[in-house]
Amino acid sequence: MLSFETVSQARCFNGTQFVYRHASQETGTPMRVAVYVPPQAKTAKVPVVWFLSGLTCTEENFTVKAGAQRAASELGLMLIAPDTSPRGEGVPDDAQGAYDFGLGAGFYVDAVQEPWAKNYRMRSYIERELPELIAQNLPADMSRQGITGHSMGGHGALTIALRNPERFKAVSAFAPIASPLNCPWGEKALSNYIGPDRSAWRDYDACALIEGGARLPDLLVDQGTADSFLESQLKPGLLEGACAKAGQPLTLRMQDGYDHSYFFIATFIEDHLRWHAQRLGV
């Protein structure tokens, strides 16, 4: 049985904030994941909320900047924040070191194009490998899982949940890339990772998945009106339209004056965790 190596741990709101490292069979690299274990886990398995981070991020951004541990401790939620991409010597990167492709920009896909196909398997890592490791090694109630994320991670949270509706009882997102088929970030990533056939991209587009019949009980999305990526990359109106046409319940909250930063996430993370807790039976 594969297991975690503890990189660090710190007491936090009567629980423990861990960072673990493990060898990934999917990515062929060492991977790091941050896990907050609340105090309730001392006596019983606890529900899980996954947080998928955005472009340029690692497992550290959410853990250090969002301030989520206080509410997670109160509610008894385990928070799992994986890295966004494979790391390590020999992992291919964008030739120009661009922030929106390559390392730090795994887009939660399973790449099929070379040289990306060997390592860039974040879909299978998040959907299969890491959940199995969590179940084997931690006091997690895997029958009660929620997922959320930010930007590229919001795209990941929505698409992973829409492809696996039986796994997630609660789904939300912060400023997600609503339709990678229709924005420069998505077109760059998917054309390189998946190839030129745009029909193959639909598995990685929340709007396309909803149009194709995928459904969830409900969705919560927060989006800042002062987000510099709002019109060019994120396009929440496309998600709103797809949900309205399909009858998919969606609560889209346009938050006046908020940008794309972790100040925005820190402001509304407690709302999201309480929304998840209610649906996870806490």
CB-based contact 122:68 (threshold 8 Å): no
Q: Is residue 148 classed exposed, middle or buried when 0-12, 13-18 and 19+ CB atoms within 10 A define those classes?
A: buried
Q: Where are the beta strands (DSSP E) in 93-246?
A: 140-149, 168-174, 220-224
Question: Which residue type, as a one-letter code, is found at position 22?
Answer: H
Radius of gyration of the chain, Cα coordinates, nearest whole angstrom: 17
Which contiguous run of DSSP H or E holds residue 244? helix 236-246
d(CA 261, CA 150): 10
For the CA atoms of 7, 97, 158, 18, what is the dihedral angle to 10 degrees?
10
Selected catalytic residue, list 24, 83, 205, 260: 260
CB-based contact 45:139 (threshold 8 Å): yes
CB-based contact 229:260 (threshold 8 Å): yes
Q: What angle do CA 49, 248, 278 make, to 5 degrees?
A: 35
Selected catalytic residue, list 83, 172, 227, 272: 227
Told to judge if 155 belongs to the known catalytic residues of this protein, a careful annotator would answer no
Told to judge if 24 belongs to the known catalytic residues of this protein, a careful annotator would answer no
Maximum Cα–Cα distance across the chain: 51
Selected catalytic residue, list 24, 85, 151, 179: 151
Q: What token pair was written down for 154? A: 């919001």
CB-based contact 203:155 (threshold 8 Å): no
Told to judge if 151 belongs to the known catalytic residues of this protein, a careful annotator would answer yes
Report helix, strand or coil for 197. coil
- What are the catalytic residues? 151, 227, 260
